[in-house]
Structure 1
Amino acid sequence: MSDAAVSPAVNEDEAALATPFVKCLVRLIRAQESYSYCLWEGKSDATLLADFIVTRKKRQAIPGMGYPDPDVLSRLDMFYTTVGLAIAKRFRPVTSPIVEMKTTRTSGPCFSRSGSSSFYPDVHRFGFETFRQLGEAGTKVVDDATSATEAYRDVARA
């Protein structure tokens, strides 16, 4: 009986891990890790992507104050770098993320004004409930960017 209860979730995870966006993300993680100490060598794709899964319970436990963790910023950067790679694979323009997040010490009311503070706390909680949501979110961003690029080909080539 427990096999029947676990089987759909396992099949859903396997299907999500097989999507082109998630496979590209895994390749990027493995490529970046090969330059360091090969800590991920022999690890499964699910293990590599485990930090991208932030359940509701985990998300609520993360404080929204202070500076974002460098690991969170690294995951955010990898996600959008993968978006750029996926767009390049589909459409062949050279792409790169236009937002770069860094941990910096800011002074003053930069993040205390209404309107500018809404994005900042969300950075702390970047992640997805499941591998399926990770794949769907990445694919949606790539699809939206690709259709916008195809609609304005001249601008994209300029």
Structure 2
Amino acid sequence: MAESVYDDPFLKSLLMLIRAHDGSGAWETMPDEAILAPFIVTREQRREIPLIGDPDPDILWRVELYYAAIGLAIEQRSGHSAAPIMKIHHEGWGRMLLTAGRLVVVNSYLRDLHRFGFESVEAMSAKAAKIIDDAVAVIKRFPDVASAT
């Protein structure tokens, strides 16, 4: 049996975080594809979104969940908790940091957040995997700083 992209631990964490916010239970039976659909923004869809605009609160929520799931994956792989810190200007640009102890393990500059999304679930998973791999490498390089409180 072929492995599905939805078997990715990062995507499982992201789906878990999204479903945890569902107070009514409506998302419990919803397929994974439907839950992740808002994260998928094709090039054509992206072109239709104006260049200037404030990001919708739902988009900011998706950005937070995406990086929170990355933080969980970093913790699962390294044993060090990676806490997200997000500072976004109302026009849709800013910075996302994930810290482990006193170590910054992810430093992502975010822009055009009103257009946040990925071409596919596979692209989203691949981008997250690169971020996670880089963060775990930084923790391995500076384990004492990652353990500092």
Same topology, TM > 0.5: yes
Query: Alignment partner of 2:64: what SS?
Result: helix
Shift of residue 119, structure 1, vs aligned partner:
4.6
Structure 2 unpaired stretches of 5+ = 95-108
Report what 1:140 is aligned to. 130
Q: Supply the distance in 1 between the matched residues of 2:122 and 2:14 (Cα, whole angstroms).
A: 13
In structure 2, what is the equivalent of residue 88 of structure 1?
Answer: 75
TM-score for both structures, normalised by structure 1: 0.75
Residue of 38, 51, 64 corresponding to 1:64 = 51
Equivalent residue for 1:123, pick from 110, 113, 116: 113
Mapped contact 2:40–2:118 kept (Cα < 8 A): yes
1:64 is displaced (CA, Å) by 2.4
Give per-residue Cα distances to partners, 1:9-53, cap 9 Å, x unaligned.
Answer: xx7xx72222111111111111122xx222212101111100000
Work out whether residues 53 and 114 of structure 2, in 8 Å CA contact, stay in contact via their aligned partners in 1: no
Which residue matches 1:19? 8
Identity %: 40
**When the two structures are superposed, what TM-score results if normalisation uses the length of structure 2?**
0.80
1:97 match: secondary structure: strand
1:130 is matched by which residue type in structure 2? S
Equivalence for 1:43:
30
Larger radius of gyration: 1
By how many angstroms is 1:104 displaced? Answer: 4.4
- CA-to-aligned-CA distance 1:76-107 (integer Å, 9 cap, x gap): 00000001111111111121112244x748xx
Structure 1: distance between partners of 2:110 and 2:28: 34
Which is bigger in relative contact order (C-alpha 8 A, separation at least 6)? 1
- 1:93 and 1:157 in contact (8 A); partners too: yes
Q: Counting helix residues as a fraction of each chain, which structure ranks higher?
A: 1
Q: If each structure's strand is expressed as a fraction of its own residues, which one has the higher value?
A: 2
Query: How many residues get paired?
Result: 132
Unaligned segments of structure 1, at least 5 residues: 1-10, 106-110, 112-117
Q: Establish whether residue 156 from structure 1 lines up as the match of residue 146 from structure 2.
A: yes
